[in-house]
Amino acid sequence: MSGSMMQRPLLISDLIRHAATCHADTEIVSRETDGALTATTWAEVEDQSRRLLAGLRALGLGEGDRVATLAWNNHRHLKIWFGVSGGGMVCHTLNPRLAPQQFIFIVNDAADRAIFFDKTFMPLIVGTKEHLGSIEHFIFMGSRDEEVLAALPEALFFDDLVRSEPAEWPVLEETAPCSLCYTSGTTGNPKGVLYTNRSTLLHTFSIALPDALDLSAREVILPVVPMFHASAWGVPYAAAMVGARLVMPGPALDGDSLLALIDDQKVTLALGVPTIWMMLLAAAEASGSKMESLRRNVIGGSAAPPSMIATFRERYDCETIHAWGMTETSPLGTANQIKGKHLNLDADALALLRLGQGRPPFGIELRIVDEDGAALPHDGQAQGALQVRGHWVVARYFGKEESALSPDGWFDTGDVASIDADGYMTIRDRTKDIIKSGGEWISSVDLENIAVEHPGIALAAAIGARHPKWDERPVIVAVRAEGHDPDEEEIRALYEGRVARWQIPDAVIFTDAIELSATGKVLKNRLREQFGDVLLERGV
Ligand code: AMP
């Protein structure tokens, strides 16, 4: 027997239709690539995305075709997202920070037929064009531009395409693909994750909930996290669902620009990776701004250092929601919000609880397993390989036949974590980054969090350096903050009494810069190549 309720597919086009119907005049403010600030509305985003869809169809593109973007977070990018995905095509967000070889690999692997690009990325397009064999249409995100035509005579223009008569949204299967994002691939070639309309809609419902990101039509949301990094954590979709005002930062991601945007646009919620917040906090400190409108921020992508969470709370009255996720999980897997039973905790206990990565929303299940795959207890102590399953978790990578899952249907995240009896998860490390000293594990995340508490340290990474007796020993690689000159012993002294004696780093190496991945994460394998032998060289 089946029930007797309406059965309607869950579609991306529903999100933008809803925003245009119920939040027609709610603004989307956008920093353009030339620096100008523009404003549009949800109604206009819907209208132009349907015109864009018609324009793309006129070029011969149809359902299932991959349409790539190489773009900042701006209003045209938003219209492409809804027009392409809502129209049954696949919006493939490309990360412009990748090395050209990886970029070429990804475009070819996805067999993208069209590519939209911001002016910033024209050199990348022109420089790699002859290797992008599948691309039939290069579409500049702007109006007709002679400079673009001189470099790329075949270029088409977004603003011409949206002059078409608006198309009607097609009714698709909810399992139809809508977007494609490649993992950052620090080892081996990047792999594609092909999201469905259904997985995206369920993820969108979920991230808007009070115990996740707590989104509503009363928020002014600044997604600093790029739309090419795990779909800006799903925020553009969720903003349409709840009718929030969106502020798109474009290319200006430095601390001063973000600070000005937050203060001028009265941003209430901003989202980004820890390196962004370091720059923002430095800018706020220098200018004296209290960022009064900013009530909450979401930190994810890498572990949020406790000192950063404390600074936001104590100096800016801004509550940090620490969140964890992956490209493979759409991306939200957990968010740190408290429960009723925590309301009476004292400030210190509450602060401690808020440090971890939080608990999964309904729709995501977590478990930790040992090296033999046996499930470990959720007691807050046991550490194991973190595995996940749920409605918005990858089942197999794009173009691959084989499953990405364990035989019993779980996805292995590559993270090491503990989970407590209330469901709160704490990431201890990446499996490949954990430091293995004399058979014991040392969390590189814990060591990094202590180093960056020192005002003289701008960025720190802990790695396992080769050791003749212990196999690996912890070493801190650090970048000094401007105007500071901490020395090795001063930093090592921070660890006294904070970690077990055998976990105290053997050395602190200062360097001018630490290379970050295309999604803002420290490239630990590079650091291991560079500094992995430092203890042997020192003759330990
Ligand atoms: P990506 O798919 O590029 O977003 O990378 C996903 C990986 O980023 C995860 O498997 C974690 O290793 C790491 N990650 C994401 N969020 C956090 C967090 N809040 N704390 C620690 N690591 C994180």
**pLDDT score of 51 more than 90:** yes
Determine the distance separating the centroid of ligand 1 and the alpha carbon of 439, expressed in angstroms. 25
Q: Per the structure block, which two tokens stand in for 148?
A: 């673009």
How big is the CA angle at 27 (ends 334 and 312), to the nearest 5 degrees? Answer: 40
Fold match, 13-252 / 435-537:
no
| Confidence label for 40 from pLDDT (cuts 50, 70 and 90) | very high
The alpha carbon of 303 and the centre of ligand 1 are apart by a number of angstroms equal to: 7
Atom of ligand 1 nearest to the CA of 300: 19
Q: Token pair for residue 189?
A: 């070639």
pLDDT of residue 186: 59
Position in ligand 1 atom list of the atom nearest CA 328: 2
Substitution candidate for ligand 1 out of 184, 195, 302 with most atoms within 8 A of CB: 302
Give the tens place of pLDDT for each residue, 340-382. 999 999 999 999 999 999 999 999 999 999 989 999 999 999 9
Atom of ligand 1 at shortest distance to CA of 357? Answer: 19
520 or 327, which is more confident: 327
Topology (CATH level 3) of domain 435-537: GMP Synthetase; Chain A, domain 3 (3.30.300)
Cα 106 to middle of ligand 1, angstroms = 21
Q: What is the pLDDT of residue 431?
A: 87
Rounded to the nearest angstrom, the distance between the alpha carbon of 338 and the centre of ligand 1 is 21
Distances (CA, A) of 69 to 136, 158, 394, 483: 14, 12, 22, 40
Q: At 149, phi and psi to the nearest 5?
A: -65, -35
HSE (CB half, 13 Å, CA atoms) of 263?
15
Contact between 283 and 253 under an 8 Å Cβ cutoff? The reply is no
* pLDDT tens digits, 261-287: 999 999 999 999 998 999 999 999 999
Q: Which residues line ligand 1 (CB under 6 A)?
A: 183-184, 230, 300-303, 322-327, 331, 357, 413-415, 427, 430, 519
pLDDT of 410 reads 98
Q: State the virtual CA torsion across 94, 99, 102, 103 in degrees, nearest 10.
A: 40
C-alpha closest to that of 117 among 150, 83, 158: 158
13-252 CATH fold = Rossmann fold (3.40.50)
SS (H, E, C) 130-175: HHCCCCCEEEECCCCCHHHHHHCCCCEEHHHHCCCCCCCCCCCCCC
- Annotated active-site residue 392? The verdict is no
pLDDT tier at 127, thresholds 50, 70, 90 = very high
Q: Tens digits of per-residue pLDDT, 525-538?
A: 999 999 999 999 99
- Helix (H) or strand (E) holding 95, with range, is none
486: helix, strand or coil: coil
Contact assessment for residue 427 and residue 400, using Cβ atoms and an 8 Å cutoff: no
Residue 184 has pLDDT above 80, yes or no: no
Given the residues 33, 41, 183, 426, select the one marked as catalytic: 183
Structure pTM? 0.92
Mean pLDDT of 511-524: 90
Question: Which residue has its alpha carbon closest to ligand 1 atom 9?
Answer: 326
Residue 3 scores a pLDDT above 70: yes
Cβ-defined contacts of 255-259 (< 8 Å, 24+): 255/279, 255/280, 255/281, 255/282, 255/283, 255/284, 256/283, 256/287, 257/31, 258/222, 258/224, 258/283, 259/283, 259/284, 259/287, 259/289, 259/291
CB atoms within 10 A of CB 295: 15
pLDDT over 90 (residue 438): no
Closest CA to 303 of 93, 424, 191, 444: 444
Q: What is the mean pLDDT of residues 409-414?
A: 97
Distance (Å) from CA 413 to ligand 1 centroid: 9
Atom of ligand 1 nearest to the CA of 427: 21
How many angstroms is it from 301 CA to the middle of ligand 1? 4
Look at ligand 1, atom 3, and give the residue with the nearest C-alpha.
Answer: 184
Catalytic site includes residue 441: yes
Mean pLDDT value across residues 198-207: 98
Domain boundaries along the sequence of the chain: 13-252, 435-537
Q: pLDDT digits over 70-95, tens only?
A: 999 999 999 999 999 999 999 999 99
- Ligand 1 pocket: which of 427, 431, 433, 519 to mutate (most atoms <8 Å of CB)? 427
Ligand 1 centre to CA of 415 (Å) is: 8
Q: Which of 324, 412, 424 to mutate to test the pocket of ligand 1 (most atoms within 8 A of CB)?
A: 324
Cα–Cα distance measured from residue 151 to residue 369, given in angstroms and rounded to the nearest whole number: 54
